[in-house]
Amino acid sequence: MRPLKDILLTTFPDLGLSPKITDALTAAGLTEPTPIQEKAIPLALEGHDVLGLAQTGTGKTLAFGLPLMEHLFQMKGKPQERTAKALVLAPTRELVNQIADNLRALTGETRMKVTTVVGGQSINRQINALARGTDILVATPGRLIDLMDRRAVDLSQTRQLVLDEADQMLDLGFIHALRKIAPQLGTPRRTMLFSATMPKQMEELSRAYLSNPQRVQVSPPGKAADKITQSIHFISKAEKPKKLREILSKDLDALTLVFSRTKHGAEKLMKSLVADGYNAASIHGNKSQGQRDRAIKAFRDGTITVLVATDVAARGIDIPGVAYVINYDLPEVPDNYVHRIGRTARAGREGEAIAFCSPEEGDLLRQIQKLMKIDIPVASGEAPAMGQGGGKGRPSGNRRRGGGQGQGQGQNKAQAKPGNGQRRRRRRAA
């Protein structure tokens, strides 16, 4: 009999998952695995450590969630007090909540318990929830360490570990937290690591925490989703507010995600849009968890049509209806551009990514295009000269708005490992 990983998979039942899990998938309208799920799930079911590389919006949560649930479903007994059978670590509160929601939608028939712990919420309430034990604990590293220090959680019986969006954990400085958490886990354990990019530090991380991992990859690092149409406007910083309103006014009912580089800039931009009559809200590091949750819910429901965010939300928003992503400010880290625009064209839909580039941002654009190995089509304006922001090369001559799709592969290794000063600036900006 051929190994499971060698069998051509076309539907979830082909994977050999328990009927309760496949029934839950069918009830949710999910019948066919995505490419990352098709490659990762069989390996995980066979017990391998898995290193998964895939762009955002490709179904990574179920790629680790389904084999995780299957292994736990076959384990006998309820979790003991203050323990967790499996741990999923994610870098942001939004991503933790997103993962937990997706898992809970499938755990009803299995009676598995999914618990979340994140900063910005009552730690006493989380202590009470953990006191009863849980099957799957989804957490941000910082809050989990707070709970460990209070002896509110015991990870010695945790034999399943998932690191989701691990590259962003590195960017946000969570590597030290991971070094404190990992030794507390039970052994032997199975570890799955998922990431959208593969900088040099990620290779080191996988060697440290994964045992002979099976690597699966469905798209080259630095490549945007095929259904994202990209374009760029070369304008001055002073012209950005006018151009933003011009674009928003063309489709007032569309869900539009606008990225600002800093917390202050995001809040200021949001308030100016509200003053001009737009249904806008903002999420960034200065907002409480409740404020961020309410803003995302309103955005998902369509009550708010414009959400202004910093990179803290670049990988924590999974809303299929996002039609436009506007990079009001270009990110300082090229990889973040890919993560930002990955908020649109989700679940097989099409989307549009529009970027503004001022003369001061010419070098940032050059780094982004080098990473993605494309020239983003120009919608308006002229690229800055080499002496203005360090712009290099000539963008595509296609001047239609949204005149092309991002294609390419590879990774700018020179940009993959930012210096300490750059990481500090990034944390303040979140």
Whether residues 243 and 292 share a domain: the answer is yes
pLDDT in tens, 344-388: 876 667 889 999 999 999 999 999 999 888 999 999 998 876 555
- Dihedral, CA atoms, 13, 16, 18, 22, nearest 10 degrees? -20
Is the pLDDT at 27 greater than 50? The verdict is yes
Listed ranges 53-62, 134-143, 310-319; the one with the highest mean pLDDT = 134-143
Whether residues 204 and 290 share a domain: the answer is no
Among 166-170, 200-204, 289-293, 408-412, which stretch is predicted with the lowest mean pLDDT? 408-412
Residue 391 binned pLDDT confidence (cut-offs 50, 70, 90):
very low
Whether residues 159 and 83 share a domain: the answer is yes
pLDDT at 395: 37
Average of per-residue pLDDT across 54-72: 87
Residue 20 lies in a domain: yes
Average of per-residue pLDDT across 270-286: 94
Residue 319 lies in a domain: yes
pLDDT at 5: 43
pLDDT at 390: 45
Measure the CA–CA gap between 260 and 430, rounded to whole angstroms.
10
Whether residues 125 and 274 share a domain: the answer is no
Under DSSP, is residue 334 helix (H, G, I), strand (E, B) or coil? Answer: helix
pLDDT at 142: 93
Beta strand pairing status for 228-234 and 351-357? parallel
Measure the CA–CA gap between 354 and 327, rounded to whole angstroms.
6
CATH number for the domain that contains residue 57: 3.40.50.300
| DSSP letters for 142-182 | HHHHHHHHTT--B-TT--EEEE-SHHHHHHTTTHHHHHHHG
Among 11-20, 22-31, 254-263, 296-305, which stretch is predicted with the lowest mean pLDDT? 11-20
Is the pLDDT at 221 greater than 70? The verdict is no
Task: Give the whole-number percent of the chain exceeding pLDDT 70.
Answer: 82
Is the pLDDT at 7 greater than 60? The verdict is no
Residue located via tokens 């994202």: 228
Measure the CA–CA gap between 115 and 166, rounded to whole angstroms.
20
* 271 vs 94, residue with greater confidence: 271
State the total domains in the chain.
2
Whether residues 78 and 201 share a domain: the answer is yes
pLDDT in tens, 280-332: 999 988 888 788 889 989 998 999 999 999 987 656 677 878 999 999 999 99
Residue 223 lies in a domain: no
Is the pLDDT at 6 greater than 70? The verdict is no
* 236 vs 399, residue with greater confidence: 236
Measure the CA–CA gap between 260 and 252, rounded to whole angstroms.
20
Q: Which candidate, 110, 118, 59, places its Cα nearest to that of 88?
A: 118
pLDDT at 170: 78
Average of per-residue pLDDT across 159-172: 86
Cis peptide before 91 (omega within 30 of 0): no
pLDDT at 202: 78
Is the pLDDT at 401 greater than 70? The verdict is no
- CA 167 → CA 256, 258, 284, 324, 368, distances in Å? 25, 22, 19, 25, 17
User: Of 164, 188, 217, which residue constitutes the final position of a domain?
Assistant: 217
pLDDT at 115: 97
Structural domain range at position 244 = 228-429
Whether residues 298 and 374 share a domain: the answer is yes
Residue 122 lies in a domain: yes
Whether residues 233 and 213 share a domain: the answer is no
* 345 vs 61, residue with greater confidence: 61
Residue 89 lies in a domain: yes
Measure the CA–CA gap between 307 and 266, rounded to whole angstroms.
9
Whether residues 251 and 163 share a domain: the answer is no
Residue 198 binned pLDDT confidence (cut-offs 50, 70, 90):
confident
User: Of 217, 247, 280, which residue constitutes the final position of a domain?
Assistant: 217
Average of per-residue pLDDT across 131-138: 96
Measure the CA–CA gap between 17 and 217, rounded to whole angstroms.
22
The average confidence (pLDDT) of the chain is 83
Whether residues 211 and 316 share a domain: the answer is no
Residue 282 lies in a domain: yes
Whether residues 265 and 145 share a domain: the answer is no
pLDDT at 336: 84
- CA 180 → CA 165, 176, 177, 213, 266, distances in Å? 18, 7, 5, 22, 33
User: Of 181, 197, 217, which residue constitutes the final position of a domain?
Assistant: 217
Is the pLDDT at 159 greater than 80? The verdict is yes
Residue 44 lies in a domain: yes
Average of per-residue pLDDT across 217-225: 65
Is the pLDDT at 413 greater than 60? The verdict is no
Measure the CA–CA gap between 45 and 67, rounded to whole angstroms.
6
Whether residues 253 and 344 share a domain: the answer is yes
Task: Give the whole-number percent of the chain exceeding pLDDT 90.
Answer: 52
Residue 222 lies in a domain: no
Q: Which candidate, 103, 57, 100, 10, places its Cα nearest to that of 318?
A: 57
Average of per-residue pLDDT across 393-416: 36
Q: Which two tokens stand for residue 417?
A: 């490992």
Whether residues 167 and 251 share a domain: the answer is no
Is the pLDDT at 406 greater than 50? The verdict is no
pLDDT at 90: 94
